[in-house]
Amino acid sequence: MKKVVISGLLLSSVISASWAESRTVTLSVPGMNCRLCPVTVRKALEKVDGVEQTQVNYDSRTATVIYDDKKVDVVKLTRATKDAGYPSEVIAKDNP
């Protein structure tokens, strides 16, 4: 009986993981005013559970984030940049 329950739990977690999708959002981060600011923004975003990849561009004052939509949402991402001292807002987001 234990093997059946464990097998069911494993199968359930595999199926749930397959429903998670990677999403992409681009954030405007206008407060970046020096060449080191993108490093701070990138590190803040990378600390958020569910963030898969982050690219921050100083010249365009943007951050593009690929994230797992089952672990994190855009509100948490913008909160992370704000908490690091760089408020941000969504300028582009892929649609599910």
Pairing relationship of beta strands 51-57 and 62-68 according to DSSP bridges = antiparallel
Pick the CATH number of 21-93 from 3.30.70.100, 3.90.1150.10, 3.40.50.300, 3.40.190.10: 3.30.70.100
Q: Which residue has the higher pLDDT, 38 or 8?
A: 38
Q: Which residue has the higher pLDDT, 12 or 93?
A: 93
Could you read off the pLDDT of 33-65 as tens digits, one per residue? Answer: 999 999 999 999 999 999 999 999 999 999 999
Mean per-residue pLDDT over the chain, rounded: 86
pLDDT at 85: 98
pLDDT at 10: 42
pLDDT at 94: 87
- Percent of the chain residues past pLDDT 70, beyond the cut: 78
- Angle formed at CA 37 by CA 44 and CA 72, multiple of 5 degrees: 25
Token digits for 71? Answer: 């672990």
